[in-house]
Structure 1
Amino acid sequence: MSFHGRVSGTRIKRALGVQAALEWAFRIEQAQLELPLPKDVTEEGFGFGLEYVLLQRAALGCKIDGGQHKIGGYTHEDAEVIAATVAGIPDSLGGKRMAIRVAELARAGLTPDWMPGAVPRCVPTIVKQNQHGTHAGAIVVGTERVCVRGPGARATWKTVDILACPVTFSPHPQQIDAARRGYDDWWQALGWVREGLIAGGMLREVEVTVAMPKARPWLR
């Protein structure tokens, strides 16, 4: 698949934002994420510098071999460079786990779910139904002695149950915070990939622009 045209003999690259470039590489070109380790390193989550990964894959600027993974076709060499760059996400931004997440989301054409519009609501944890409809259930949390006066002047003491309705918040505020931290971590990793691809200058037919997904879209 070729992106470029020619105007007066000049190659024109196709401009893509980093998210669009990732989706093209992993979803359209079906590039595979390879996470090689140096021989003396076996620690889980080791992050590689961009230079190490690109030198391993591109041999000091030589053409990168394609067609190793895409079934029934050729994997574009620019897609291989993009995949190699993702593999180099450093530990400070999530390392191998983040690289896998970035690749999987791009392959599915998805953006991390930051739970738009989510507002914690107080809801009962026990719900019961009867002929009158749905209502909150209650549990016994204690007992109390109360004085009950009958028809006459004499009073009697009875033990009565104290009932309470257990509640929770759904979605929980911590769940919303975790989803939005996950989006922010992904966004920062995309920024690192974008800067690496622009600075590396190794893409032949794709030009990665400065365009990024919206930062913290929940802050409007």
Structure 2
Amino acid sequence: MSFQGRIGRIGGTKVKRSLGVQAALEWAFRVEQAQLELPPPRDVTEEGFGFGLEYVLLQRAMLGCKVDGGQHKMGSYTHPDAEVIAATVAGMPNSLGGIRMAIQVAEQTRAGITPDWMPGVVPRCVPLETKSNQHGERATTIVVGTERMKTRGKWRTVDVLACPVTWRPHPEQIASARRGYGDWWQALGWVREGLIAGGMLREVEVTAAMPKPRPWNTR
């Protein structure tokens, strides 16, 4: 999707561009390359430099997000509406993830991606360990007890073997990924409501459109 078209005019009246919050964020961070001006930590004085590059890089690494740089933009001008959007994201409340969520929203929309909620992934029951030999790969077994049994007319003690299994990916991994998506979705909702209520956007109108709240529910 391209967001580079100019704002139109009808009869001398400026017509705002209508965008959902996710599209507005991508326009601000990816096309206009707005910068996320984060508030300084509480223990940093006014003379400090706020959050350094090391902090932002650390947060990016924690998010596992590699930014692709977006589209090439000539000059250093950033649209005022894009700056308003970036400033709104920077004010993310702690109840929704605070600074870390603000960085996640900015970096993921700059890269044009959404949180990975592990679509189509189903936990599978698999052996905990396997071993390979000339006959192929086999599940590792352990002794869980003994039994007495009669074979060829004699009583013998034999080991009872079991194959330890696990779930991969573990259901909690999937649940955690989907909780992360839900947190991101709530953050976008907060940004959308703030931009609409603030009324500070001059040429962009943020609509009620939102990503699916639970895309893993197909019904």
The answer to whether the superposition gives a TM-score over 0.5 is: yes
Which residue pairs with 2:163 in the alignment? 165
Distance in 2, Cα, partners of 1:84 & 1:149 = 79
Does 2:29 correspond to 1:20? no
Runs of 4+ in structure 1 off by over 4 angstroms are 147-151
Structure 2 segments unaligned to the other structure (5+ residues): 45-72
Distance in 2, Cα, partners of 1:169 & 1:78 = 47
Percent of aligned pairs with the same amino acid: 71
Does 2:177 correspond to 1:179? yes
Secondary structure, aligned partner of 2:119: coil
How do 1:77-156 and structure 2 match up within 5 A?
Answer: 77-142=80-145, 144=146, 146=148, 155=154
Distance in 1, Cα, partners of 2:175 & 2:81 = 36
How far 1:3 moved relative to its partner? 2.7
Secondary structure, aligned partner of 1:119: coil
Distance in 2, Cα, partners of 1:149 & 1:21 = 76
Letter of the 2:148 partner, please give it: V
Structure 1 segments unaligned to the other structure (5+ residues): 44-69
Letter of the 1:181 partner, please give it: R
Secondary structure, aligned partner of 1:198: helix
Distance in 1, Cα, partners of 2:140 & 2:190 = 51
Distance in 2, Cα, partners of 1:130 & 1:218 = 40
Secondary structure, aligned partner of 2:29: helix
Secondary structure, aligned partner of 1:123: strand
Which residue pairs with 1:213 in the alignment? 211
Distance in 1, Cα, partners of 2:139 & 2:156 = 29
Letter of the 1:216 partner, please give it: R
Rg comparison, structure with higher value:
1
Q: Deviations over 1:43-92 (max 9, x none)?
A: 9xxxxxxxxxxxxxxxxxxxxxxxxxx77331111111101000111111
Say whether the 8 Å CA contact 1:128–1:134 is kept in structure 2: yes
Distance 1:131 1:116, change over 3 A: same
Say whether the 8 Å CA contact 1:17–1:208 is kept in structure 2: yes
Does 2:78 correspond to 1:75? yes
Q: TM (normalized to structure 1)? A: 0.76
Say whether the 8 Å CA contact 1:3–1:206 is kept in structure 2: no
Equivalent residues, number: 187
Which residue, 179, 189, 197 being the options, matches 2:195? 197
